[in-house]
Structure 1
């Protein structure tokens, strides 16, 4: 798969305090790559260095082996919103398309199609200032993809969206990737990231913690957990082999299992007298991996 964006050994400091150190990853054509981390981890600094909003102290950012990223080939949805509030939606979107050297007749047709797709049909002459936060997010998303970029960078794209709009965005992001767009996505909504992203780069304290394919990361870092719905004694279950910790609330017990557990064999250790209304075994979520890393708990830091 062709590499569209390649970041190598990126480093940036402010007042001699390192913000990011030795950051390296790539984004490939047709994939959705997540860049994740707690607040202050260095995600926004990394994105700003990629965009040329600031310049790194060391390292390189290459677009298809070119040192300069052509601005008409990249789409960017920033975390901070920046639309002109007293300008009509159509006018601002056409203006932004023109800045990208995109044909205006084609841009106008795409604006109308996207407004319809995102439930904003008939609002092309509405000014941004009267829109809700979610509607404004939709307009800014349209601005980032209107010119058909080869590389799309989305910083907190689901912010302010209701569940229906989140589904629309997820589907459109998948469609863009299926059409060959390389997508770099940053979000704190781990459930959505886990649903749509192919690979991830997790950064903490300005350094790489995890980098790899989503499924490989889950196998490496996400131990199994067993969820039992029923009224049971958590102390008894805590004593079972390979159980690292137990959580219990409202008739549900969650057993977090050791990494080397053999699930089929382990199930034989469950007491016969357990009350089991439902039982499921799956791996812990990306959200739980993120929390463990952000709070320096159980994740053993190993480079992927």
Structure 2
């Protein structure tokens, strides 16, 4: 078992955490959104979003590309405003770290860029240099500190993107696809970092496509589809699921399909797929898969595919990153 990596935050930060009571279970929300919607002109991007972000918790945003996850993170970061609805947050009293999905290959070196970010964050030159050294070493980038970002790979840019959010300990950390481009050791390092930040009181909100990061840190999952929350799961214990099976079959009459969906062991009707064919599907408890297959065949359906699913199986359809055709959402 690998040991947890201790992030070297200052004594002042640790003292503030204890005195501020961030570890208390009744701590007030950092941000609350009620009935939030976002439009660009007449085009809806988010509709009727409600969520609460508490200190010391991790919230995962799940949904295919174009479902509105990035737009929601930008609203939480204060980069965009809601078109309607209410967002409650004292931003002047809130320290926010934000790592966007796209990070540019600048002409600055990694060290110069991070020093500038340290100055913006209010670090002294000495404190900034020390913190940068620690984080570059943590993410195995110390040998590339003097290279220009324009020559970095996607994974290296993502590491710098993550490091700039961690120069100070944020009260709220917003990460848009944080695992994108990272190699396996860096993914493990990131998960360790997120676990420790969460334990120290930082609220995490992450858009993700990877089940392992949800299993490692998430307390709540919001499933977004076409800009709306279609499912919310609260409690880490509810994110552990028994093995299931995805069955795809030719479409059946409405009443027959409704009867199939009402069978014991049916967990979810996945989103439409196999464009151009009249197919539908079910995700069912593995123990009930044979019964469901028999019922489909007895009703006159033809089986297209049967696919076993692992942990978090009832969310995997929504973690597929492929675009929703024509959605135009962020």
- For structure 1, the residue ranges without an aligned partner over 5 or more in a row are 227-240, 246-253, 262-281, 295-304
For each residue in 1:70-121, what CA deviation from the matched residue of structure 2 results, as whole angstroms up to 9, or x when unmatched? 39711000001135x2212121111112222233321210100111111112
Q: Are positions 1:73 and 2:99 aligned together?
A: no
Q: 1:12 to 1:116 in 2, by over 3 A?
A: same
Please tell me whether the aligned partners of residues 72 and 101 of structure 1 are also in contact (alpha carbons under 8 angstroms): no
Match of 2:112 in 1: 91
Q: 1:115 to 1:150 in 2, by over 3 A?
A: same
**Counterpart among 20, 32, 36 of residue 58 in structure 2:** 32
CA RMSD of aligned residues (A): 3.0
Please tell me whether the aligned partners of residues 76 and 153 of structure 1 are also in contact (alpha carbons under 8 angstroms): yes
**Counterpart among 39, 44, 57 of residue 18 in structure 1:** 44
Q: 1:223 to 1:119 in 2, by over 3 A?
A: closer
Scaled by the length of structure 2, the TM-score of the pair is: 0.66
Q: Are positions 1:42 and 2:71 aligned together?
A: no
Q: 1:218 to 1:192 in 2, by over 3 A?
A: closer
Q: 1:155 to 1:122 in 2, by over 3 A?
A: same
Distance in 2 between the 1:79 and 1:94 partners?
A: 21
Q: Are positions 1:130 and 2:151 aligned together?
A: yes
Please tell me whether the aligned partners of residues 72 and 100 of structure 1 are also in contact (alpha carbons under 8 angstroms): no
CA shift at 1:132, angstroms?
2.1
Match of 1:200 in 2: 221
Pairing of 1:259-270 with structure 2 (within 5 A): none
**Counterpart among 256, 259, 277 of residue 286 in structure 2:** 256
Distance in 2 between the 1:244 and 1:208 partners?
A: 21
Distance in 1 between the 2:285 and 2:161 partners?
A: 43
Q: Looking at both structures, which has the greater relative contact order when contacts are Cα pairs under 8 Å and sequence separation is at least 6?
A: 2
Match of 1:251 in 2: none
Distance in 2 between the 1:27 and 1:94 partners?
A: 30
Please tell me whether the aligned partners of residues 242 and 257 of structure 1 are also in contact (alpha carbons under 8 angstroms): no
Match of 2:19 in 1: none
- For structure 2, the residue ranges without an aligned partner over 5 or more in a row are 1-24, 246-262, 268-283, 292-307, 321-330
Number of aligned positions between the proteins: 244
Distance in 2 between the 1:119 and 1:216 partners?
A: 33
